[in-house]
A and B are shown apart, each in its own frame.
Chain A
Amino acid sequence: MILYILCLTLFCVGLYGILRKRNIIKIIVGLIIADYAVNLFFVLVGYRWEGRSPIYASDADILNMVDPLPQAVVLTSIVIGLATTALLVALAMRIYGKYGTFDITKIRELRG
């Protein structure tokens, strides 16, 4: 149970970073943290206590194995997170080049 609560806390830390920080880089870090919390949660869902990897060998007797699907799926999800983060960082660099600041309260060309 404590693991799930810690995972939720991690997610909330990420959301706090996205919503409350004014620095673009810190917002991106917040997004990464929230992303990791969701991935961690997915792996936790597939985990079994005392479980082992589901690899069948002739001499091994598997009684309790972890669910391998979330691990495969999370791998994909991590790669997607990487692509998004790379794009966000590239945008942040171009924004710094144009505005000379990372502070979102000073980057206000658009209304609303």
Chain B
Amino acid sequence: MIPQNPIVPFFVIIPLAGAFVTAFIGKRFKRLPDLLGFVSTLGCLLLSVAAVWLVRRGGVLVYSVGAWKPPVGIAMVLDGLTAFMLVTVNLVACLVVVFSVDYMKRFTSKWKFYTLFLLMLAGMNGVVATGDLFNLFVFLEIASVASYALVAFGTEKEELEAAFKYAVMGTVASLFVLLGIVFLYSYTSTLNMADMAVVLAAKGPSDIVLLVSVLFLMGFGLKAALVPFHAWLPDAHPSAPAPISAMLSGVLIKSLGVYALCRIFYNVLGMTPKVAELFLFLGALSMVIGVFLAIGQWDLKRLLAYHSISQIGYVVLGLGLATPLGVLGGLFHLFNHSVFKSLLFLNSGSLEHATGTRDLQKMGGLMEKMPVTGATNLVASMSIAGIPPFNGFWSKLLIIIAAVQAGRMGYAFWAVLASLLTLASFTKVMKYAFFGTARKAWEGVTEAPFFMRCAMVLLALICMAGGVLLVPGVREAFLSRAAADVMEGLHYGVSVFRCVG
């Protein structure tokens, strides 16, 4: 009998309690929402680092909610993949809160922002930590509903339109996910993911599983903005305030989309060559189409949003290779992308804060006026384009090597091509926004306030040091463990039940 480890539910409890307290008394005290937001995200971050250590030491942690043992009760499962996602989500959330302290002064009612923000965080942590399929749907909806509201936060014409479009698409996606869950329940008579894996492994392949695969691919594919389902993303992500764009592009599409796809297809349904082929195809399609659409954009945030589609393509491509190195590369790219893409969105927020525009053609010569923003943006641009010492290079290299090893030369070629086009479009961003002749209009422009600079510099440092995660010793604890948990496939069910406390 292993004793219950009570750490797991705190990833949901802390942000949820933070949201509740902020909603009640945040209005009366001016500084309180900032403080509460920072304290709860920092708490989650520290806990998630502790979780990585615990998983490395003691294997999978299972928490039975209300002491009802799975498969009857709801379980929360903390394995390598979950710990990895929790670190990614909470790291970005914590730095985004630091950035928001100064940035959100432009909006009235900061406390509403923090309430929704923490609610979204609770949803994301819940999706990642839960071991029950219906519970996953509930947390998915919590995170989604909070994000619809956050996209509309500015309540201007464009924001409302984007939020409406996003909400309709997101709700339809959730319906497909729910429909998939219904079919799976009727087939396996259980909602517990580990139990489902055991039952499905015993029953073998069937047409129902194929139907469910299609439904989940549509539902989670819409949430992850893979190419045939991407139409909402370039509207929704730029319309939100910059910290929220950073959260949406950085971690929301990953925890709700890619993580869920990865967990369900690898660990619950079992990865088949057909599905892996589909992953590869959708990944490559997103990668190339995303970057082609991005390169012609003049709105900075819209350009970044299209790049999110493209970079998600890399992650899905890595996962679709279904080799240990491919999965490792995909997950590493997921972490790297959430760091540099949130940094890029925060930079765009800093530019908008200073100049009031997002149009690249109206900017120019801002490097002298805003050295910190310029330098961090340069670091992030080089990371996303895959220039050697930065983190983006290592993960793209791993994915391409894995593709070559798996004998997928065509996909490796597309990955290299998309990387070159990414470089081209970020050269454009740097040239038009930061270099070139300074315009008269920007003479009075000043650098971003202290907290905004702080967040950007920290993220840039992580971008530069990202390669360290591949050093033997660090890699085993963080990345290899997550990749191993993905690759264990249907064995997931057995290993969870072994650890039920």
Bound pair (A, B): yes
Indicate the member of B149, B161, B179, B234 with the most A CB atoms within 10 Å.
B161
Q: Which residue on A lies nearest to B185, using beta carbons?
A: A45
Min Cβ gap B382→A in Å is 28
Q: B150-182 vs A: 1/0 string, CB under 8 Å?
A: 001001111011111001100110110011001
CB contact between B171 and one of A31, A41, A95 (< 8 Å): that residue: A31
User: Is there contact, CB below 8 Å, between A88 and B141?
Assistant: no
Q: A32-59 vs B: 1/0 string, CB under 8 Å?
A: 0011001001100100000000000000
Q: A72-112 vs B: 1/0 string, CB under 8 Å?
A: 01001100100110011001101100110000000111101
B interface bracket (residues with beta carbon within 8 Å of A): 20 to 34
Complex CA–CA separation, A110 to B158 (angstroms): 7
User: Is there contact, CB below 8 Å, between A18 and B172?
Assistant: yes
Chain B positions within 8 Å of A76 at CB level: 134, 138
Chain A positions within 8 Å of B168 at CB level: 18, 27, 31, 88
B186 within 8 A of A: yes
User: Is there contact, CB below 8 Å, between A99 and B171?
Assistant: no
Chain B positions within 8 Å of A92 at CB level: 164
User: Is there contact, CB below 8 Å, between A95 and B148?
Assistant: no
User: Is there contact, CB below 8 Å, between A87 and B234?
Assistant: no
User: Is there contact, CB below 8 Å, between A41 and B182?
Assistant: yes
Q: How many residues of A contact B (CB 8 A)?
A: 31
B35 within 8 A of A: no
Min Cβ gap A86→B in Å is 9
Complex CA–CA separation, A7 to B457 (angstroms): 55
CB contact between A95 and one of B138, B161, B191, B235 (< 8 Å): that residue: B161
Chain B positions within 8 Å of A107 at CB level: 161
Indicate the member of B134, B148, B182 with the most A CB atoms within 10 Å.
B182
Binding site for B on A (CB under 8 A): 18, 24, 27, 31, 34-35, 38, 41-42, 45, 69-70, 73, 76-77, 80, 83-84, 87-88, 91-92, 94-95, 98-99, 107-110, 112
23 intermolecular pairs with C-beta atoms under 8 Å apart: A18-B168, A31-B171, A31-B172, A34-B172, A42-B185, A45-B182, A45-B185, A69-B185, A73-B134, A73-B191, A76-B134, A76-B138, A80-B141, A83-B141, A88-B167, A91-B160, A91-B164, A91-B167, A94-B152, A94-B155, A98-B160, A109-B158, A112-B231
Binding site for A on B (CB under 8 A): 134, 137-138, 141, 145, 148-149, 152, 155-158, 160-164, 167-168, 171-172, 174-175, 178-179, 182, 185-186, 191, 231, 234-235, 239
Known: A31-B171, A80-B141, A80-B145. 19 other contacts (CB 8 A): A18-B168, A27-B168, A38-B178, A41-B182, A42-B182, A70-B182, A73-B134, A73-B191, A76-B134, A80-B138, A83-B141, A83-B145, A84-B174, A87-B145, A87-B148, A88-B164, A91-B167, A94-B160, A110-B158
